Amino acid sequence: MSVQAIASPVRPAEAQPHAELPRNEGMPLDLGWLSATRVNLSAAERRVATLPGRRSVKRDAQAAWLLKAVTCIDLTTLSGDDTEGRVRRLCAKAKNPVRQDLLDAMGMGDRHITTGAICVYHRFVAAAVDALEGSGIPVAAVSTGFPAGLAPHDVKLREIEASVADGAAEIDIVITREHVLTGNWQALYDEMRDFRRACGPAHVKAILATGDLKTLRNVAKASLVCMMAGADFIKTSTGKEGINATPLVTLAMLRQIRAYHDATGFMVGYKPAGGISAAKDILNYQFLMKEELGRRWLEPDLFRIGASSLLADIERQLEHHVTGRYSAFNRHAAG
Ligand SMILES: O=C[C@H](O)COP(=O)(O)O
């Protein structure tokens, strides 16, 4: 079977793969639901431990999954030494994330594969919007005092508004971890509600910074509160915590997305981010998404991968798939 046959869900970027989903409108804060929320740690660990052994895909199937992953990457640069030049180079890579000769060899040369988005600091939103004009690739901005999220609340709201005014279609906000660590769910709900309102038409991804939240139960509750307050996506990490995205934390968050969908009918997206740099690792996240939430959640409107260096390894794996040889990492500088 060819990559093309397997990867047929990888559609041209300009086409709408599915009817636009209704946005998560949120719901009143339900403290009873929260206090009943539990995570069975040992069962979750067992579930995650069996994942790589049970689902290994090879050759054409693996190439198809990896191409699908490319379409879900929020290609990211979030460094103190970022420059407009670096952001523009990243945008060029987002438009052509995989070499044309490799795509042609896989029968995917006409699919106009792009990354899901570009993710940058507010300062670079306007330049990224300009560089991506006509491509259909959205710009995501990390606002709200990223990565600590400890700026004054009104300053965070102004930052969101400024990013939207500059053309950001998606805003990745960071929550105040203290609200979770002190169990102040009302404060977290109110904060998230305000962020959602400030985003207006821009979609909002709530970064939980799971590595700071101490327990999986806290992660599960914070996920629920952010969804109740209207988050379009929940996202694991800023990439700056000591522990970033993991399959275990993913499982805890996906189970809450499922529970929220069962209760409200709203489909909320998921974004693992931080420390995901190996192609083989992203396959596990994709399998978890498919098994826990279903095929629909593999599309870029419900699944994003926050990563600054994953694309380089995916391209290397695809080159190996096509040519039988691995190239050096320095041949894949961007992404
Ligand atoms: O949101 C995305 C992350 O900041 C990217 O983290 P990374 O540089 O570890 O891939």
Q: Which of 93, 205, 221, 271 is labelled catalytic?
A: 271
* pLDDT value at 8 more than 50: no
% of the chain exceeding 90 in pLDDT: 87
Smallest CA-to-CA distance from 271 within 261, 285, 283 is with 285
Q: Give the pLDDT confidence score for residue 162 in this predicted structure.
A: 98
Please give the average per-residue pLDDT across 312-335, as a whole number. Answer: 81
* pLDDT value at 117 more than 90: yes
How many angstroms does the Cα of residue 264 sit away from the middle of ligand 1?
31
Region of 96 please: left (phi>0), alpha (psi -120 to 50) or beta.
beta
| pLDDT tens per residue, range 180-216 | 999 999 999 999 999 999 999 999 999 999 999 999 9
* pLDDT value at 91 more than 90: yes
Distance CA 159, CA 142 (A): 9
* Count of positions (residues) in the chain: 335
Spatial CB neighbours of 107, under 8 Å, sequence gap ≥ 6: 2, 3, 4
Please give the average per-residue pLDDT across 247-264, as a whole number. Answer: 98
Identify the residue with better confidence: 222 or 9: 222
Which residues, in sequence order, are bridge partners of residue 142? Answer: 121, 172
Is 221 assigned a catalytic role? no
| Mean pLDDT lowest among 7-11, 124-128, 174-178, 266-270 | 7-11
Please tell me the residue having the least CA distance from ligand 1 atom 10: 307
Distance CA 297, CA 293 (A): 6
Please give the average per-residue pLDDT across 248-256, as a whole number. Answer: 98
Mean of all residue pLDDT scores within the chain: 92
Round to the nearest angstrom and report the end-to-end CA distance of the chain. 29
Q: Give the pLDDT confidence score for residue 329 in this predicted structure.
A: 65
Q: Give the pLDDT confidence score for residue 58 in this predicted structure.
A: 76
* Closest ligand 1 atom, residue 244 Cα: 9
Residue type, 50: T
- Burial state string for 204-234 with b = 16 or more CB within 10 A and e = fewer than 16: bbbbbbbbbbeebebbbbbbbbbbbbbbbbb
Q: Give the pLDDT confidence score for residue 60 in this predicted structure.
A: 87
Q: Give the pLDDT confidence score for residue 330 in this predicted structure.
A: 67
**Alpha carbons within 13 A on the beta-carbon side of 91:** 24
Q: Give the pLDDT confidence score for residue 333 in this predicted structure.
A: 57
The continuous run of DSSP H or E covering 42 comes out as helix 41-49
> How sure is the predictor about 79, in pLDDT bands with cuts at 50, 70 and 90?
very high
Please give the average per-residue pLDDT across 24-36, as a whole number. Answer: 98
> How sure is the predictor about 3, in pLDDT bands with cuts at 50, 70 and 90?
low
Q: Give the pLDDT confidence score for residue 55 in this predicted structure.
A: 61
**Alpha carbons within 13 A on the beta-carbon side of 299:** 18
* Closest ligand 1 atom, residue 235 Cα: 1
**Alpha carbons within 13 A on the beta-carbon side of 202:** 28
Smallest CA-to-CA distance from 141 within 94, 70, 95, 199 is with 199
| pLDDT tens per residue, range 93-114 | 999 999 999 999 999 999 999 9
Is 235 assigned a catalytic role? yes
The continuous run of DSSP H or E covering 246 comes out as none
DSSP state letter for 17: S
pTM of the model: 0.93
The continuous run of DSSP H or E covering 150 comes out as none
* pLDDT value at 68 more than 90: yes
The CATH code belonging to domain 27-326 is 3.20.20.70
Beta strand segments in the chain, E: 73-76, 117-121, 139-142, 170-174, 203-207, 233-235, 269-271, 305-307
Q: Give the pLDDT confidence score for residue 54 in this predicted structure.
A: 61
Smallest CA-to-CA distance from 267 within 38, 25, 14, 16 is with 25
Is 290 assigned a catalytic role? no
| Mean pLDDT lowest among 108-112, 128-132, 264-268 | 108-112
% of the chain exceeding 70 in pLDDT: 91
Please tell me the residue having the least CA distance from ligand 1 atom 6: 274
* pLDDT value at 15 more than 70: no
Is residue 76 in contact with ligand 1, taking CB distance under 6 Å?
yes
* Closest ligand 1 atom, residue 310 Cα: 10
Assess contact for 63 and 3: CB atoms under 8 A.
yes
